[in-house]
Amino acid sequence: MKIFFVAVLLLMPINQSWAFDDPTRPGDYRPSATRSLKGMQLESILIGAQRKVAVINGKSYQSGDIIAGAKLVSIEAHQVTMRKGSKTIQLKLFNTDIKRQSTK
């Protein structure tokens, strides 16, 4: 009986690892080494006197860094520009179109 409880205790951490998995993720999901540019999310831009930093998908990047095969070309106040081959991609921090509520 003791051996059974010891075996159960040893296997518990392995069995509980499933609790950290995404339950909506497909069973055959494999994370890729290089992420596509479509999945890029610009989360924050920090501009200081000495440097500019963009936070994309939770990681900090500076101009010249390579992200999923694209070079981060410029960091501006509300957007970043990336280049992959001849393709230029702009990630915007937020929608700059301001809509006003009608005053009828």
**Domain contains 68:** yes
CA distance 91 to 32: 21
Q: What angle do CA 75, 80, 86 make, to 5 degrees?
A: 115
Domain that holds residue 81: 40-94
pTM of the entire predicted model: 0.56
Domain-located, residue 90: yes
Please indicate, yes or no, if residue 79 is contained in any of the structural domains. Answer: yes
User: Domain tally for the chain?
Assistant: 1
**The domain that contains 54 carries what CATH number?**
2.30.30.830
pLDDT band at 17 (very low <50, low <70, confident <90, very high): very low
Q: Is residue 9 part of a domain?
A: no
Average pLDDT of the segment spanning 2-26? 58
C-alpha 52/C-alpha 60 separation (Å) is: 10
Is 51 part of a structural domain of the chain? yes
Go through the chain and tell me how many residues it has.
Answer: 104
Which pLDDT belongs to residue 18? 47
Please check whether residue 58 lies inside any domain of the structure: yes
